[in-house]
Amino acid sequence: MTESPRTALVVGASRTLGLGLAAEYLRRGWDVIGTVRGSRRTGLHDLAESSGGRLTVESLEMTDPEQVSALRDRLARRTLDLLFVNAAITRGDLPIGEVPTDMFTEVMVTNALSPMRVVESLRPLVAPTGTIGVMSSDQGSITLNTEGGQDLYRASKSALNQLMRSYAARYAEDTRTLLLMDPGWVRTELGGLEAELSVEESIPGVAETIERQQGKPGLHFLDHLGQVVPW
C-alpha cells in the first residue's frame, strides 16, 4: 500500500522565505497548502500551477481573526503534519522612543499576536505527532542582543518567543513538536542585500531541521543548521 503524502500548511507563502518553504516541501514529496494575502497573483500561484495539484493556495489576512476562523473551517476535514507560520514586517530602524504608537501596534500585531492566533485556532488540525512552527529570528534573542538596533522588530520577535513559551507551558502534555525557527540572516526585504544567505541556502536547512525534530515534543528554538538559539 502506498503511503499518503504528508501535508504542510505554510501561512504567509507568497514570496521569499514562505514561498521557498512551500517549494521545498513540494520537492520533498509533501502536499502543501499555502496562504497569501488578498486575491493578487503571486509566485505561489505560479508554483501551484506547476505542482500537479499538490499545492493549494488559500487566501488569508492573518491579522483578521474572522479570516483565520474561516480558514480553519475550510480546512476542517484536513489533517496537517506541519503547521508553519511565516510572517514578519519591519518599519525601519528607529530608537524605541521615536516609534509612533500606531507603528508599534502594527508590528506587534503582525509579528507576535497574529501568528499566535493562527497557532491557537489551527492547532486542532495538526496531527498528534505533527509539528507546529513559527518563523522567529536570532534578533528575538535577548542573550544575543549585544549591539542594539532594530528595537521594535527585536521586541516583536522576543514577544513571539515568549508567547510560544507560554503556549508550550499551557499545553505541556501535548505530543506535538513546537518550533521557533531562526532562518539565519537571509537576503530578503527584511534581511537586506548584505545578508549572508540566499533563500535557497537557508530554506533547505530550515526544512531539514523541522524534519529532524519530528517526534520530539516540547518547544525548541533552533536555527537553520539545527543549532540551539539562546533565549
Per-residue pLDDT of 11-20, as tens digits, reads 999 989 999 9
Residue 171 lies in a domain: yes
- Over its length of 231 residues, how does the chain's per-residue pLDDT go in tens digits? 457 899 999 999 998 999 999 999 999 999 999 999 988 899 999 999 999 999 999 999 999 999 999 999 999 999 999 999 998 899 989 999 999 999 999 999 999 999 999 999 999 999 999 999 999 999 999 999 999 999 999 999 999 999 999 999 999 999 999 999 999 988 777 677 777 899 999 999 999 999 999 999 999 999 999 999 999
2's CB contacts (< 8 A; 6+ apart) are none
- Is 116 within the bounds of a domain? yes
Q: Which of 177, 166, 185 is nearest to 218 (CA)?
A: 177
Selection from 153, 140, 129 nearest residue 181 by Cα: 140
Beta bridge partners of 31: 7
1 within a domain of the structure (yes/no): no
Residue 230 lies in a domain: no
CA gap 224, 181 in Å, rounded: 7
Domain-embedded: residue 2: no
Q: How many domains does the chain contain in total?
A: 1
Q: What is the grid cell recorded at 39?
A: 486575491
How many CB atoms within 10 Å of residue 187? 18
Residue 109 domain boundaries: 7-223
* Residue 23, domain member (yes or no): yes
Q: Does residue 121 lie within any of the structural domains?
A: yes
Query: Given phi > 0 = left and psi -120 to 50 = alpha, else beta, which region is 215?
Result: left
The whole-angstrom separation of Cα 95 and Cα 148 is 9
**115: in domain:** yes
CATH of the domain at 185: 3.40.50.720
Tens digits of residue pLDDT in 185-209:
887 776 777 778 999 999 999 999 9
